[in-house]
Structure 1
């Protein structure tokens, strides 16, 4: 399989920069990495502010990470000027997250004219800790 084209790399860089500029992602400590259209890799820094009463990372932070990862993956698959928003998301929490960072990897499963379907896996210390699926509404430019 060949690597991404210059146009694909530029689109990924544009989406990455837009997400990194949003204050919410900075607040959560999410770092965005993406080099290939239709996929993403985001890392959530495990910080004390994100932990729930039992010491693990709060499920809401994990869901925000998954939603963000799927949004980035979709954004890289669309054209400049297209818009998207989450319609529905389901998350399964498979095991608690300890003290390590969490890595989310997302991919577009199907991209239609007005709807997109995405999958995401979240890992910490090499273990699958959660998975998510989402449907996004797509508004073409």
Structure 2
């Protein structure tokens, strides 16, 4: 089982998270909060943040939240998202997650994406499989 410090280091050193420029604000057991300062390379052809960026940010924060509790690697089994409002260049968006069910090998979590004023921009629900490595 990984320690909380190990999990944080793994999350913060992820090449993908670095590529997206995800910043970790809080990393506690069961409580992970990340921010993303939207830059031009996050934008789609309509000059709003590409949905895949938002999806990836929420997938990452949900996975980190679960791993901070389980101390084990995991994979996303299923995830759905509701895009509620566009996110524009220059915005600072905040991602959080909550575990809603935890079984022996399957964990479900919700993810929430808000702007700095607390307006909900997107919401996800995901199912994750814990990987029991020997």
1:27 maps to 2:19: yes
Question: C-alpha displacement at 1:65, in angstroms?
Answer: 0.2
Matches within 5 A, 1:1-141: 11-79=3-71, 82-98=72-88, 99-126=90-117, 127-141=119-133
What residue ranges of structure 2 are gaps of 5+ in the alignment? Answer: none
Answer yes or no: is the 8 Å Cα contact 1:12–1:34 preserved in 2: no
Secondary structure class of the residue paired with 1:131: strand
The alpha-carbon deviation at position 12 of structure 1 amounts to: 3.1
**Alpha carbon RMSD of aligned pairs, Å?**
1.5
List structure 1 runs of 4+ shifted beyond 4 angstroms: none
Question: 1:63 deviation in Å?
Answer: 0.3
Is contact 2:112–2:123 with CA below 8 Å preserved after alignment? yes
Q: Secondary structure at the match of 1:34?
A: strand
Q: Which runs of 5+ in 1 are unaligned?
A: 1-9
Name the TM-score, length of structure 1 as normaliser: 0.85
- Separation in 2, partners of 1:132, 1:67: 8
Distance in 2 of aligned mates of 1:35 and 1:105: 11
